[in-house]
């Protein structure tokens, strides 16, 4: 996995170079080795229509804790949708994500968990650390859109937060799975 390293300053995360849409690199915002983090960096690569897409995200584990609806990802509050850096989607072509049209480029993905359906939030800002306290007014001003997405309860337990896709061709479904929850996000080629 190719990563771009960004340096930290006392004021926050800076120095993020613009991402080429053809490279689809995952971004690492500190010097800690992504492979040895408690919540390792992972990615999912797929195609939708003519676009090549890469999702990069941190994979926290529940470890006996209540995560969704708990302290780490409270219901009704914005969540970075993973751990460490915000989850990011890099696309070489236009997409429609849950009804939100985005051109080729790189975007952060946040969600608002709930015990029912969730909200997905796509944002042009990719230079902030993922923790919700860094979702400032300036970052919120760069939102591309918010849309409701379906969530359902699973019988089986998923210990480690997982993103995967279902389907192929002109449309896929991005599945977010953790604990007893599955969130389905429809993605179509633009």
Provide DSSP, 129-169. -SSGGG--HHHHTTEEEEEEEEEEEEEEEEEEEEEEEE--T
Sign of CA dihedral 124, 128, 129, 133: negative
Number of C-beta neighbours around residue 142 at 10 A: 15
Spatial CA neighbour of 97 closest among 162, 46, 48: 48
* Count of domains for the chain: 1
For 154-171, the pLDDT digits (tens) are: 999 999 999 999 998 999
pTM (whole model) above 0.75: yes
Three-class DSSP category at 88: strand
Least confident of 33-42, 53-62, 104-113, 115-124: 33-42
Looking at per-residue confidence, does 15 or 48 come out higher? 48
Q: Which residues contact 71 (CB under 8 A, 6 or more apart)?
A: none
Task: State the Cα–Cα distance between residues 77 and 119, nearest whole angstrom.
Answer: 10
Domain span at residue 161?
Answer: 3-189
pLDDT band at 9 (very low <50, low <70, confident <90, very high): very low
Mean pLDDT, range 120-143, rounded to an integer: 91
* Stronger pLDDT, 38 or 87, i.e. the higher one: 87
CB 121 within 8 A of CB 111: yes
What rounded mean pLDDT belongs to the chain? 86
């Amino acid at each position: 996995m190719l990563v771009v390293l960004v340096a930290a300053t006392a004021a926050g995360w800076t120095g993020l170079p613009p991402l080429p849409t053809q490279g689809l690199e995952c971004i690492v915002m500190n010097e800690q080795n992504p492979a040895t983090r408690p919540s390792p960096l992972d990615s999912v690569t797929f195609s939708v229509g003519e676009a090549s897409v890469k999702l990069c995200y941190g994979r926290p584990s529940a470890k006996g804790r209540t995560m969704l609806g708990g302290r780490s990802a409270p219901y009704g509050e914005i969540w970075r949708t993973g751990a460490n850096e915000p989850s990011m989607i890099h696309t070489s072509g236009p997409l429609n994500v849950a009804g939100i049209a985005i051109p080729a480029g790189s975007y952060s993905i946040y969600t608002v968990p709930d015990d029912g359906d969730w909200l997905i939030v796509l944002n042009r800002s990719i230079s902030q650390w993922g923790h919700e306290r860094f979702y400032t007014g300036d970052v919120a001003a760069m939102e591309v859109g918010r849309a409701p997405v379906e969530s359902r309860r699973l019988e089986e337990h998923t210990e480690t937060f997982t993103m995967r896709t279902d389907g192929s061709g002109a449309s896929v479904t991005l599945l977010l799975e953790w604990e007893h929850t599955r969130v389905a996000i429809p993605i179509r080629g633009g």
